[in-house]
Amino acid sequence: MKINSREKDNVVIFDIEGEIRRSDITDVTLHQMVKKNLDSGCRNILLNFQKVDFIDSFGVGEILASYISTQNLGGKLKLAKISKKLYMVFQVTMLTKVLEIFDNEETAFNSFFPE
């Protein structure tokens, strides 16, 4: 798994690439990266799943932990560009009822700033 982060108008966007699984852990987990941004004051987090091929139960736990950490600090965590295969994982785990999931990054980004 490779994660690049960028900031746009007070929203931190994580572009995730590869597989989110326990055996693919590098030095830093997704949750640790989200926590680092939360600790520095960034409260709007967008996870871009366009290049994610696979997620296991560890990955689902990382996303849920990131969501909870963000919520606890009054922030918002949203997901974008999830494949149909990964969306099914979120449906089975009932996380589609908890997480805000968008088809594209622009719509997800704009949802942070309701009119």
pTM of the model: 0.93
Q: Report domain extents, the chain.
A: 2-110
- Model confidence over 72-96: pLDDT tens digits? 999 999 999 999 999 999 999 999 9
More confident call, 31 vs 114 = 31
* Mean pLDDT computed over 62-69: 96
Q: Which residues contact 80 (CB under 8 A, 6 or more apart)?
A: 46, 47, 48, 49, 50, 101, 102, 103, 104, 105, 107, 108, 109
* CATH, domain range 2-110: 3.30.750.24
| Cβ neighbours of 6 (radius 10 Å) | 11
